[in-house]
């Protein structure tokens, strides 16, 4: 990528972030991804424990993103709580943008709502959670509320979920090294999840990982270690495609209670059943937010 292309991509990303109402100083002077990853991997930060499954040979879990709650706390979690009961969901994963502005009040509110769903969950950080309009950085708010944003959990010894911090649109050298070390340990099914997709339309694009080099490197790792799927949020819609040598790539869909980019609200439901892992898209009613 030459200087002009780099400038165009950087400008597009800044327009995308600042256009969402973010403070420009927070964008330019944020905590780097390498520092956030080092924090997440330190012994002093909370990391969610693996779920204790009633039946490790048969279980279900949901994946979605972009709740983006605001002060009025309008969200889809009441409707999703009923989905958990109706579809016998054991746990769920949220791929970033839990809040609109990453304030302590928003993150505390959404954590309380997530805790009330009734089953365990895993979450990682998004750009809205990181870039926010207070004097204290969004990363500090996230750490104190949710803990780590980069971590790995293995369920029943058969499904591993690796969550990455891509809140600034990049992965960074520290996180790449950690990711490859995680992937070296074989597990029947691995899902790598983060806020930003690998794919996302023509360049420059604010809807996918920023760096061409990082996208190629990530795709290479997914292929090399036979990852089952890469799952992401950020785009307020659902998309299914492939990366590399036919690795499943899902933009899982949004629980955003306001206008979506296209399509309907919903989530992806995964089911592990005696040696196989399958998935389906679950749509939710457009009039469900409360």
What pLDDT, in 10s, does the model give residues 165-193? 999 999 999 999 999 999 999 999 999 99
- The CATH number of domain 3-283 is 3.40.190.10: no
Nearest to 113 by CA among 154, 72, 60: 72
What integer pLDDT is reported at residue 195 of this predicted model? 97
**What is the pTM assigned to this prediction?**
0.88
What integer pLDDT is reported at residue 75 of this predicted model? 86
| Cα gap 248→191, rounded to integer Å | 10
| Cα gap 197→270, rounded to integer Å | 18
What pLDDT, in 10s, does the model give residues 109-151? 999 999 999 999 999 999 999 986 544 578 999 999 999 999 9
Alpha-carbon distances of 223 from 14, 176, 193, 213, 230, rounded to whole Å: 31, 14, 15, 15, 11
What integer pLDDT is reported at residue 131 of this predicted model? 84
What integer pLDDT is reported at residue 261 of this predicted model? 83
Q: Mean pLDDT throughout 6-13? A: 42
Q: Contact at 8 Å (CB) between 99 and 105?
A: no
Higher pLDDT, 4 or 33: 33
What pLDDT, in 10s, does the model give residues 208-222? 999 999 999 999 999
What integer pLDDT is reported at residue 29 of this predicted model? 55
172: alpha, beta or left? (left if phi > 0; alpha if psi -120 to 50): left
What pLDDT, in 10s, does the model give residues 48-103? 999 999 999 999 999 999 999 988 888 889 999 999 999 999 999 999 999 998 88
Alpha-carbon distances of 27 from 68, 101, 125, 151, 159, rounded to whole Å: 18, 13, 15, 24, 35
**Res. 257 pLDDT band, cuts 50 70 90:** confident
The token pair that represents 89 in the structure block: 């969901």
Calculate the average pLDDT of the chain: 87
């Amino acid at each position: 990528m030459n200087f002009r292309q780099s400038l165009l991509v950087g400008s597009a990303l800044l327009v995308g972030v600042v256009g969402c109402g973010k403070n420009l100083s927070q964008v330019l002077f944020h905590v780097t991804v390498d520092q956030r990853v080092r924090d997440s991997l330190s012994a002093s930060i909370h990391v969610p424990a693996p779920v204790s499954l009633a039946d490790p040979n048969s279980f279900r879990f949901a994946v979605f993103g972009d709740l983006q709650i605001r002060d009025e706390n309008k969200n889809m979690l009441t409707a999703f709580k009923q989905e958990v009961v109706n579809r016998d969901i054991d746990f769920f994963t949220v791929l970033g943008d839990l809040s609109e502005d990453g304030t302590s009040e928003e993150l505390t509110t959404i954590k309380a709502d997530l805790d009330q769903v009734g089953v365990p969950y895993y979450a990682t950080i998004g750009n809205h959670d990181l870039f926010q309009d207070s004097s204290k950085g969004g990363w500090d708010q996230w750490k104190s509320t949710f803990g780590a944003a980069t971590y790995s959990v293995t369920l029943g010894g058969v499904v591993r979920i690796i969550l990455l911090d891509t809140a600034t649109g990049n992965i960074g050298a520290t996180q790449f090294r950690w990711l490859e070390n995680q992937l070296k340990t074989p597990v029947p099914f691995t899902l790598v999840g983060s806020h930003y997709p690998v794919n996302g339309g023509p360049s420059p694009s604010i809807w996918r990982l920023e760096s061409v080099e990082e996208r190629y490197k990530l795709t290479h790792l997914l292929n090399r270690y036979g990852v089952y799927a890469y799952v992401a949020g950020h785009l307020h819609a659902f998309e299914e495609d492939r990366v590399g040598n036919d690795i499943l790539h899902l933009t899982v869909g949004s629980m955003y209670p306001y206008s979506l980019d296209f399509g309907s609200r919903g989530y992806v439901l995964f089911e592990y059943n005696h040696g196989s892992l399958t998935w389906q898209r679950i749509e939710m009613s457009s009039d469900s937010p409360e």
